[in-house]
Chain A
Amino acid sequence: MTDDKLEQLRSSFYESILLLQDEKDIMDALPAPEFQSFFPLMEGLISKLVAECKEFQSLGNDPDILEEVELLKKKIDICKHRVESVKKQVSEDGLESQATCSKRHLIFAKTSFGSTFLQKDLKEIPNEYYDKVLDTLDTLEFGDFGSNTEKVRQLTNNKKLFGLYEIKEFKVRLVYRVLDGDMVYVMQTRMKKDDNSSLDQKDLIYRSRNTNDEFQALKEKIQDSHERELLIMEHEVIRNEILSELKAGKRDGKGDKK
Chain B
Amino acid sequence: MDNFTKQIKNAQGLRNLEQTKLAYSHEILANLSDDPSLVDVLTEDLGISDTELFEKLSGTTQGNITFYDQSLSSVRVFSKSKNNHSNKTK
Binding site for B on A (CB under 8 A): 1, 5-6, 9-10, 12-13, 15-22, 25, 29-38, 40-41, 64, 67-68, 158-160, 198, 201-202, 205, 208-209
Residue in contact with A35 in the complex, picked from B17, B27, B66, CB distance below 8 Å? B66
Is B58's beta carbon under 8 Å from chain A?
no
Q: In the complex the two chains form, is B10's CB within 8 Å of A29's CB?
A: no
Q: A6-B76, A9-B27, A35-B70 are in contact. Are A17 and B45 (CB under 8 A)?
A: no
Q: In the complex the two chains form, is A12's CB within 8 Å of B19's CB?
A: yes
Q: In the complex the two chains form, is B47's CB within 8 Å of A16's CB?
A: no
Is B88's beta carbon under 8 Å from chain A?
no
CB B57 to nearest CB in A, in angstroms, measures 14
Q: Nearest chain-B residue to A11 (Cβ)?
A: B20
Q: A158-B47, A209-B47 are in contact. Are A41 and B10 (CB under 8 A)?
A: no
Q: In the complex the two chains form, is A15's CB within 8 Å of B16's CB?
A: yes
A12 to B10, CA, bound (A): 15
Q: In the complex the two chains form, is B13's CB within 8 Å of A160's CB?
A: no
Q: A12-B16, A15-B16, A19-B16 are in contact. Are A1 and B76 (CB under 8 A)?
A: yes
Q: In the complex the two chains form, is A9's CB within 8 Å of B20's CB?
A: yes
CB B69 to nearest CB in A, in angstroms, measures 4
Size of the chain B interface, CB-CB below 8 angstroms = 34
Q: Nearest chain-A residue to B17 (Cβ)?
A: A16
Q: In the complex the two chains form, is B70's CB within 8 Å of A29's CB?
A: no
Residue in contact with B10 in the complex, picked from A9, A22, A34, A67, CB distance below 8 Å? A22
Contacts of A198 in B (CB 8 A): 44
5 extra interface residue pairs, beta carbon distance < 8 Å, beyond A6-B73, A20-B13, A209-B48: A10-B69, A16-B20, A31-B66, A32-B64, A35-B67
CB B41 to nearest CB in A, in angstroms, measures 10
A40 to B70, CA, bound (A): 10
Is B53's beta carbon under 8 Å from chain A?
no
Segment 11-56 of B: residues with Cβ below 8 Å from A: 12-14, 16-17, 19-20, 23-24, 27, 31, 44-48
Contacts of A18 in B (CB 8 A): 13
Binding site for A on B (CB under 8 A): 1, 6-7, 9-10, 12-14, 16-17, 19-20, 23-24, 27, 31, 44-48, 64-70, 72-76, 79
Q: In the complex the two chains form, is B27's CB within 8 Å of A1's CB?
A: yes
Q: A1-B76, A1-B79, A36-B70 are in contact. Are A160 and B47 (CB under 8 A)?
A: yes
Which of B10, B70, B75 is packed against the most chain A CB atoms within 10 Å?
B70
Contacts of A12 in B (CB 8 A): 16, 19-20, 23
A209 to B43, CA, bound (A): 13
Contacts of B6 in A (CB 8 A): 21-22
Q: In the complex the two chains form, is B31's CB within 8 Å of A1's CB?
A: yes
Q: A16-B16, A19-B12, A22-B10 are in contact. Are A201 and B44 (CB under 8 A)?
A: yes
Contacts of B68 in A (CB 8 A): 9
Q: Nearest chain-A residue to B21 (Cβ)?
A: A13
Contacts of A202 in B (CB 8 A): 44
Q: In the complex the two chains form, is B66's CB within 8 Å of A159's CB?
A: no
Q: In the complex the two chains form, is B7's CB within 8 Å of A159's CB?
A: no
Contacts of B74 in A (CB 8 A): 159
Instruction: Name 27 interchain pairs, CB-CB below 8 A, sorted by A.
Output: A1-B72, A1-B76, A6-B69, A9-B24, A9-B69, A12-B20, A13-B65, A13-B69, A17-B13, A19-B13, A19-B16, A20-B13, A20-B17, A21-B7, A22-B6, A22-B10, A29-B17, A31-B64, A31-B69, A32-B66, A34-B70, A35-B67, A37-B73, A159-B47, A160-B47, A205-B44, A209-B48
